[in-house]
Amino acid sequence: MTTAIDAPPAMPRARQRGSDFSQLSQRITAAGLLARRPGYYALRLTLVALAFAAGGVALFTVGDSWWQLAVAVYLGLVYGQVALVAHDLAHRQIFRGRRASEFAGRIAGNLGIGMSYGWWMNKHTRHHANPNHEDLDPDVAPDILVWSKEQAREAKGLPRFIGRYEAQLFFPLLTLEGFNLHVASVRALREPHMKRKWLEGGLLLVHGVAYSAALFLAMPPGLAVAVLVVHHAVFGVYLGSIFAPNHKGMPTLRGDERPDFLRRQVLTSRNVKGGWLTDIALGGLNYQIEHHLFPSMPSPHLRHARPIVRDYCAELGISYHETGLVASWGEALRHMREVGAPIREARAGADAPDGAVAGSGAGGQGPVPSSAVEPEPSGSIPG
């Protein structure tokens, strides 16, 4: 089983003008894939806004009925689509200017779904700069879950307990992610990096008041609480199902490991294959490699960039990993089971009788694709 990916060296300077990425960028630009798509986004934003409004109408139309739980499921999916729109706004895929992007982003994020645009923008920008870097990417920082064997060995308390079973607990924990986004958004208002804190906080407050009022005016309190829980559980699972396949189970970086931009983005990302329905459900983030290479590229162009990027990576001998949606979840879950092995082994050793040799605690696993294996401490992706 391969435990490290050897990134091929950059092409000799005699064979190229500029960096490897600049050569790819020229091909993408020549194909017209960085051009804006105002018509597409006008239609998409209109449809998402109508879907959002329809959810509000449904709450008051259905009234005191357990069919409200179906409305809650619907709203969870709509919230996910609004979050994807906020994502595209943050990357300036829709508007060229920062001011317009931030205004629309706060309307969609803070006011629409109760997620701080400023908080998410800061977090996501750091992720894009250093994907899967354990010291620099907040998405793989140890928190409730651990993402590498080194993090597992250092884990204490609740993360150590959950780390033993995090593959089994991952999707159940996602039911709490919708609530976590609200909590993280409010907590971020105290961070020094946050801009326009009063505006961010005011919009979050308006969202919370309006959302709570809609629920408790449209139905009895018990049913309102049930709708709130189901709505946010679906929202969390949907978002997690979109973002988990992107990098979880792909190689990680540590310390001074920092390959060039092209390899840093490609080797730590995974594409998810599928048709137009997958593109809609995942908001184009199924083309994660292309998105990381060209974050401002309009999402409908990512599909067309894929063969160009894939063929270019083949020319340079750079691994380009893509798989199906269900298979991507499987790779991510196998990775979570692997990284929890040190915790299970330590527990087995502590529970074993004196003189007994504890087992590995990770038996029963089949071979894992090399592209989905987190590197050992001795070497990740060489810089």
Are 301 and 33 spatial neighbours (Cβ–Cβ below 8 Å)? yes
Encoded tokens for 383: 């810089």
Task: Give residue for tokens 């018990």.
Answer: 222
Are 255 and 148 spatial neighbours (Cβ–Cβ below 8 Å)? no
Cα-Cα end-to-end distance for the chain: 22
- The residues, ordered by sequence, that sit 6+ positions from 348 with a Cβ below 8 Å of its Cβ are 358, 359, 361
pLDDT of residue 361: 41
Give how far Cα 61 sits from Cα of 78, 112, 359, Å.
18, 20, 58
Three-class secondary structure of residue 353 per DSSP: coil
pLDDT of residue 3: 37
Write b or e for each residue in 220-246: b if 16 or more Cβ atoms lie within 10 A of its Cβ, otherwise e: eeebbebbbebbbbbbbbbbbbbbbbb
CA distance 152 to 150: 5
Are 95 and 161 spatial neighbours (Cβ–Cβ below 8 Å)? no
Report how many domains make up the chain.
1
Three-class secondary structure of residue 133 per DSSP: strand
In a domain, 350, yes or no: no
pLDDT of residue 142: 86
In a domain, 267, yes or no: yes
In a domain, 2, yes or no: no
Domain containing residue 82: 15-337
In a domain, 197, yes or no: yes
Are 380 and 4 spatial neighbours (Cβ–Cβ below 8 Å)? yes
Are 265 and 289 spatial neighbours (Cβ–Cβ below 8 Å)? yes
In a domain, 80, yes or no: yes
In a domain, 352, yes or no: no
Three-class secondary structure of residue 270 per DSSP: coil
CA distance 258 to 130: 8
pLDDT tens digits for the chain (383 residues)?
Answer: 333 445 455 444 444 456 899 999 999 999 999 999 999 999 999 999 999 999 999 999 999 999 999 999 999 999 999 999 999 999 999 999 999 999 999 999 999 999 999 999 999 999 999 999 999 999 998 888 999 999 999 999 999 999 999 999 999 999 999 999 999 999 999 998 899 999 999 999 999 999 999 999 999 999 999 999 999 999 999 999 999 989 999 999 999 888 999 999 999 999 999 999 999 999 999 999 999 999 999 999 999 999 999 999 999 999 999 999 999 999 999 999 999 999 998 877 766 666 554 444 443 334 434 333 333 333 344 33
In a domain, 261, yes or no: yes
In a domain, 316, yes or no: yes
